[in-house]
Structure 1
Amino acid sequence: MFRNFKAYRPLQVARFVKTLFKGQLHIEGIGSFEFDEGKLLMPHKENRKMLSVMSEVNQHIRQLSVVPA
């Protein structure tokens, strides 16, 4: 599955990745990412912005996975 996000909204991206589990996405102005096993994978290019986005989205995914007691 491929999705194009026109704006970077980390929580929206995290929900998409967590729901579909495997695929690709593109965020306008940032770049393209692949995701597998419900988390964004390391980008192929060494780009600080992409690494920062990957880290932030994966953090939101972890927070969505926590079940409140």
Structure 2
Amino acid sequence: MFRNFKAYRPLQVARFVKTLFKGNLHIEGIGTFEFDGGKILMPNQGTKKMLLVMSEVNQHIRQLSMMPA
């Protein structure tokens, strides 16, 4: 599954990744990411901004996983 986000909203991206578990996404102005196992993977040609986004989104995913249903 591929999704294009027009704006970077970490919680929205985290919910998408956690729900679909595997696929690709693109965030306008930041870049394209691959995710698997419910986490964003390290980009091959990542910039510092991409690494910060990956870290922030994965942190939100961990927080969502700890919340009771």
Both proteins in one fold, TM over 0.5: yes
TM-score bracket, shorter-length normalisation? over 0.9
TM norm structure 1: 0.95
Q: Map Cα deviations across residues 37-68 of structure 1 (whole Å, 9 max, x no partner).
A: 00000011141000000000000000000034
Identical amino acids, percent of aligned pairs: 82
Q: For this pair of structures, how many residues does the alignment match?
A: 68
* Runs of 4+ deviating beyond 3 Å: none
Q: CA RMSD in A?
A: 0.8
Gaps of 5+ in 2: none
Tell me the amino acid that sits aligned with residue 14 of structure 1.
A
TM norm structure 2: 0.95
